[in-house]
């Protein structure tokens, strides 16, 4: 009997989630209803943040954060080459220009200490720091910039439910705004969805206004034209709203987030036990003392290089194990080439290039059984012993 195909990631939806969404759909407000506020409050509390503002998706959340930070044409934004393109597109959305610095070879996160020491952050108006795979990016080296008014935006799309030593990711002690994605492949979901947490009431207001067309309510008791219906639009905004029934799903999912993060960490520990010491295989960096890894992805590196990684992708697929590359470095994309980035940019980012040639995400989601993890590890070990024979490899 052939074994079932294992995807690299999968959402968890149970009867409680379904019932919560059905209940919300029976209420009069299916878009901006009470569950939006309730979800924002619960998410903020779970991440130790004073405020959270929910969006239609994580990309909208990043766009709103870039706008709330006041970024615009002429501004430069320091970020990582190793992320989904939304992490740097948020600069482009507001007319700013991304500037890429290299990653730490151990964590694959932006090497913030080196970026600051080498002057890559000089003159930037903001940093978008990504906690890749759910491992908290080191924000400490950026605090001096923050003191000088540089906005620190954490892209924690992968780090829902993760922790730094002194606070949960998103609590706001080290970043002005933290953007999460709630896409189904992430650690909890609202279907499509995103949310920004912040310690600043002012930024939370700006985020809410941006989410709804830039609308501000302004009525005057003594002016017959400015009744309770009156609103004004002072700034450009979008319709980036999330719906009430999506937030019903978010509230229901949030209850199980801690158990899912724990399950993901148990799976990661098992992979480490089963795959540790395998020749040609580098396992992901462990979190530092006191940190909790969000474990959205389990990215291994095939140290022989791109040919071996390609062979492993194909061979694992043949035995029913789905894997994925996270990510093609952003400067390599056609859009970025057309903006003047490309091979010359990558030549200055050797650690990101090395990661690009070697990385592959193995299956990682809470529903993986012990047997699934053992099967994946067994296949990885077996296939790694095969010689690289085919012409393409
Ligand atoms: C690091 C990162 N940032 C931002 C996003 C964008 O989130 P969304 O898909 O919810 O728009 C993603 C989604 O894949 C992501 O992985």
Q: pLDDT of 76-99, one tens digit each?
A: 999 999 999 999 999 999 999 999
Q: Ligand 1, closest atom to CA 83?
A: 1
Q: Of all residues in the chain, what percent carry a pLDDT higher than 90?
A: 94
Q: How far is the CA of 392 from the centre of ligand 1 (A)?
A: 32
Q: How far is the CA of 267 from the centre of ligand 1 (A)?
A: 23
Give CA–CA dist 235/213, Å, rounded.
Answer: 8
Residue ranges around ligand 1 (CB below 6 Å):
57-59, 62, 83-84, 86-87, 130, 155, 157-158, 181, 183, 194
Contact 358, 309 (CB under 8 A): yes
Q: Ligand 1, closest atom to CA 182?
A: 10
Q: Ligand 1, closest atom to CA 86?
A: 4
Q: Where in the chain is the domain with CATH 3.90.1150.10?
A: 258-384
Cα dist. 95→73, 85, 123, 179, 254 in Å? Answer: 4, 15, 16, 19, 35
Cα dist. 328→37, 110, 135 in Å? Answer: 36, 15, 19
Q: Ligand 1, closest atom to CA 193?
A: 10
pLDDT over threshold 70, residue 1:
no
Higher pLDDT, 218 or 267: 267
Q: What class does CATH assign to 258-384?
A: alpha beta
Mutate to test the pocket of ligand 1, among 61, 83, 84 (most ligand atoms within 8 A of CB): 84
What integer is the mean pLDDT of 348-366? 98
Q: What class does CATH assign to 15-254?
A: alpha beta
Whole-number pLDDT of residue 390: 63
- 299 exposed, middle or buried (CB, 10 Å; 0-12, 13-18, 19+)? buried
Q: How far is the CA of 181 from the centre of ligand 1 (A)?
A: 6
Instruction: Compute the mean pLDDT over every residue in the chain, rounded to the nearest whole number.
Output: 96
Q: How far is the CA of 290 from the centre of ligand 1 (A)?
A: 26
pTM: 0.97
């Amino acid at each position: 009997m052939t074994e079932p195909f294992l995807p690299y990631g999968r959402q968890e939806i149970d009867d409680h989630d379904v019932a919560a969404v059905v209940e919300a759909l029976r209420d009069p407000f299916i878009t901006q209803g009470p569950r939006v506020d309730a979800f924002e409050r619960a998410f903020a509390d779970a991440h130790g943040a004073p405020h959270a503002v929910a969006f239609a998706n994580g990309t909208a959340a990043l766009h709103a954060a870039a706008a709330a930070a006041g970024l615009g044409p002429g501004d430069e934004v320091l970020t990582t080459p190793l992320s989904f393109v939304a992490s740097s597109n948020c600069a482009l959305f507001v007319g700013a220009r991304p500037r890429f610095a290299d990653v730490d070879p151990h964590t694959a996160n932006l090497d913030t200490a080196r970026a600051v020491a080498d002057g890559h952050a000089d003159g930037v108006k903001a940093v978008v720091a990504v906690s890749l795979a759910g491992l908290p990016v080191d924000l400490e080296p950026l605090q001096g910039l923050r003191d000088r008014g540089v906005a620190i935006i954490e892209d924690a799309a992968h780090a829902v439910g993760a922790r730094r030593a002194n606070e949960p990711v998103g609590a706001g002690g080290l970043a002005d705004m933290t953007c999460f994605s709630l896409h189904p492949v992430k650690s909890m979901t609202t279907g499509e969805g995103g949310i920004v947490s912040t310690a600043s009431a002012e930024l939370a207001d700006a985020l809410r206004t941006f989410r709804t067309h830039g609308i501000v309510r302004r009525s005057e008791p003594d002016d017959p034209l400015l009744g309770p219906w009156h609103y004004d639009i002072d700034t450009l905004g979008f319709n980036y709203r999330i719906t009430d029934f999506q937030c019903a799903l978010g509230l229901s999912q949030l209850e199980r987030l801690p158990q899912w993060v724990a399950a993901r960490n148990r799976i990661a520990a098992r992979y480490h036990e089963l795959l540790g010491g395998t020749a040609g295989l580098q396992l992901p960096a462990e979190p530092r003392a006191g940190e909790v890894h969000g474990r959205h992805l389990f990215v291994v590196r095939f140290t022989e290089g791109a040919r071996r990684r390609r062979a492993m992708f194909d061979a694992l697929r043949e035995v029913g194990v789905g894997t994925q590359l996270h990510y093609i470095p952003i400067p390599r994309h056609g859009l970025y080439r057309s903006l003047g980035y490309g091979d010359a940019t990558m030549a200055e980012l050797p650690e990101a290039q090395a990661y690009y040639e070697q990385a592959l995400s193995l299956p990682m989601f809470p529903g993986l059984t012990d047997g699934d993890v053992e099967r994946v590890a067994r296949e990885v070990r077996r296939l790694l012993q095969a010689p690289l024979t085919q012409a393409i490899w």
